Amino acid sequence: MSSDMNSSPPPPPAVLSYPPNYTFPTHRLSRVLRNPDKQPLVLVACGSFSPVTYLHLRMFEMAKDYVRQNTDFEIVGGYLSPVSDQYKKPGLLSAHHRVNMCNLAAEQTSQWLMVDPWEAFQSYQRTAVVLDHFEYEINTRLGGIATADGAEKKPARVMLLAGSDLIATMSEPGVWSEPDLDHILGRYGVLIIERAGADMDQAIDSLARWRHNIHLIHQLVQNDVSSTKVRLFLRRGLSVRYLLPAPVVDYIEEHGLYMDDGPNASAASGAVAAEKEKGKEKEASTSTAAC
C-alpha cells in the first residue's frame, strides 16, 4: 500500500475512544521491512498481566520462532496490552501498577517488546476493538511499513497472541460474541500458545471455520507459571524470584503489592470469573502444598 505523505491521516473510527494524553508507542516498531518478500506482522497480547510473568514474555519469543520458521510474515512489533480496571477480574491490580510492571519487563528484558496503555487507562474495550485500534494506528495513521528501498509501504497484519486457555473461552457461551469472533479470527487471526491444562485441539474445535487464520504453537518446555500462582505465593510470603523479571519483583516489593486479596477479590465482577479464580487458586494451592 502506498501512502500520500502530504495528507494527514483520516480520523480514527468513532468506535475508538482515547485515554487522556495518550500516544501510541512506536519506539521499537520496525518501520522498514528487512525482507521485501515478507508481509509485516504485529503481535498483540491482551490480558490482565497482574503481574506480568516470564511466561507472558516467553509467548512472544515462541511466536517469533514459529513465524520465522513457518510463515511468510516478518514480525515488526510486539505489544502487551493490559486490560482496563473495569474488567474487574479478581486479583486485578490497578492499571497504573500493571502498566508500570509491564513497562519494566519489556524495557529491561527485551529488545523489541512494547506496552500499549490504550485499553488500560480507559473504559473496558473488547478485544476486537483493541485490534482495530492497532490496525488504525499502524496502517492508517502511520501508513504501514516501508520496504527497504522506500518505494512502497505494506500494510501490517495485526494478530492476536494468546494462550490456549484464553482461546478455550471462545467456545464458552456468552463470553465472546459471534461477530467479534469473526472479526478477530476472520480478519486478524491468532497465534495460540499451548498452555498446560488447556488442550489446544479442544480449544479450537468450534473455531474450525477460521482454521486458516489460527496458528498453533506447541510448548517445547513445559512451564505452568500463572499470575494466579504468583499472587498466591506473594500472599503466603513465598519467593517469586525467577518467575518474573527481577525489576518486576523489585517493584512489587517496593510497593508492597499483592500482600492481601486486593480490592476485586470478592467484588461482584462476574460470578464466572470469580469461580474460575477460585478454581485456579485451589489448583495452585494444591501444588504449593505438595512442594
Ligand X SMILES: NC(=O)c1ccc[n+]([C@@H]2O[C@H](COP(=O)(O)O)[C@@H](O)[C@H]2O)c1
59 counts as binding ligand ATP under rule CB under 6 A = yes
226 counts as binding ligand ATP under rule CB under 6 A = yes
Q: Which does 269 bind (CB under 5 to 8 A by kind): ligand ATP, ligand X, none?
A: none
Q: Looking at the chain, how many residues does it have?
A: 291
Nearest distance from C-beta of residue 166 to ligand X, angstroms: 5
55 counts as binding ligand ATP under rule CB under 6 A = yes
Strands 214-217 and 113-115, by their bridges, are unpaired
Site string for ligand ATP, 227-246 (x = CB under 6 A): xx------------------
Distance of CA 69 to the CA centre of its chain: 22
Which of 175, 238, 246, 259: binder of ligand X (CB under 6 A)?
Answer: 175
Residue 14, CA distances (Å) to 17, 84, 136, 140, 198 in order: 7, 19, 12, 14, 36
Grouping H, G, I as helix, E, B as strand and the rest as coil, residue 253 is helix
Q: Which does 176 bind (CB under 5 to 8 A by kind): ligand X, ligand ATP, none?
A: ligand X
Measured in degrees and rounded to the nearest 5, phi and psi for residue 72 equal -100, 20
The answer to whether the beta carbons of residues 146 and 152 sit under 8 Å apart is yes
Q: Which residue has the cell 516489593?
A: 253
Measured in degrees and rounded to the nearest 5, phi and psi for residue 255 equal -100, 5
Q: Which does 195 bind (CB under 5 to 8 A by kind): ligand X, ligand ATP, none?
A: ligand ATP
Nearest distance from C-beta of residue 165 to ligand ATP, angstroms: 5
Q: Which does 248 bind (CB under 5 to 8 A by kind): ligand X, ligand ATP, none?
A: none
Stretch that binds ligand ATP, among 41-49, 120-128, 240-248, 258-266 (CB under 6 A): 41-49
Residue 210, CA distances (Å) to 58, 72, 91, 183, 193 in order: 25, 18, 33, 10, 17
Which CB atom, from 82 or from 143, has the smaller least distance to ligand X?
Answer: 82
State the residues that interact with ligand X by CB under 6 A: 46-48, 83, 87, 89, 126-128, 166, 169, 175-176, 180
State the residues that interact with ligand ATP by CB under 6 A: 45, 47-50, 55-56, 59, 91, 162-163, 165-166, 193, 195, 223-228, 280
